[in-house]
Amino acid sequence: MNIKSLAVIALLSLSTAAQSFAAGEKPDLRDVRWGMSKEEVMKHEKAEKIKETDSILVYLIKGGPKRQIIHTHPDLDGKSMELSIDIDVPDYNLVYLFPNGKLGMAILHMDNPEAKADDYLDELDRKADEIIEETGKEPKGMAKYGENDTQDDVYAHPERICSGIYAIKFIWPTINNRTNIMMELDNRKTDLDKYECTMSIFYESVEFPVDPADSAKMHEVL
């Protein structure tokens, strides 16, 4: 992640850690809940902190080799298979945003200049499957071509993703009346005036929303 991005964003992923909530309460993501103060989040978040400001915390989520269980689509008899595969999970930046001192937004951001469009597509599918399994809800997929109308065929032109004219979005229904989730595989200009892929997952609180202008800025930068 470049310095400009670090100055204006925050990022996130799901994980397991010791929990300490009131009876009946569960984390909204990782081991934190919306509305926590920055100090409370720092007590609960176990990843490596790489940046802190008055309203932002940035962490590094290390990747590496991982054994993953996947389930195939049911066949004509309604049966599916469980497969175990080895994958190489990329590093992510994780940032928390604190509007008015309370946790209201988090972003999980894959920023790997060496990855190709196909690598981003594979990771997009893997993370989408993770969120579907965790939430029990299917997203709506959309493809956006510049200023043209949105299309439902999200993989119509994958070769154009990193060329500055094609983007993919997945939007989930609100989770537990508390969390909105959007995943974006998009592109941005580099300092050399070329385009590169960028993928982010945006988690936003229903109860403690970030100002719409700030939220829009996060989507634009990432």
pLDDT, tens only, 9-18? 433 333 333 4
Kindly report which listed range (44-58, 115-129, 172-186) carries the lowest average pLDDT score. Answer: 115-129
Q: Write out pLDDT tens, residues 202-212.
A: 999 999 998 88
Half-sphere exposure of 66 (CA within 13 A, CB side): 12
Give the mean pLDDT of 98-110.
93
Q: Residue 149 above 60 pLDDT? A: no
Contact 8, 89 (CB under 8 A): no
Q: Residue 147 above 70 pLDDT? A: no
Q: Compute the distance between CA of residue 156 and CA of residue 143 in angstroms, rounded to an integer.
A: 8
> Residue 151 phi/psi, 5° resolution?
-125, 155
Number of domains within the chain: 1
Give the mean pLDDT of 75-93.
77
122 Cβ contact partners less than 8 Å away, ≥ 6 residues apart? none
Q: Which domain holds residue 165?
A: 3-221
Q: Which amino acid is at 212?
A: P
Q: Compute the distance between CA of residue 190 and CA of residue 187 in angstroms, rounded to an integer.
A: 10
Give the mean pLDDT of 81-92.
76
Read off the tokens for 110: 């894959």
- pTM here is 0.77
Contact 182, 167 (CB under 8 A): no
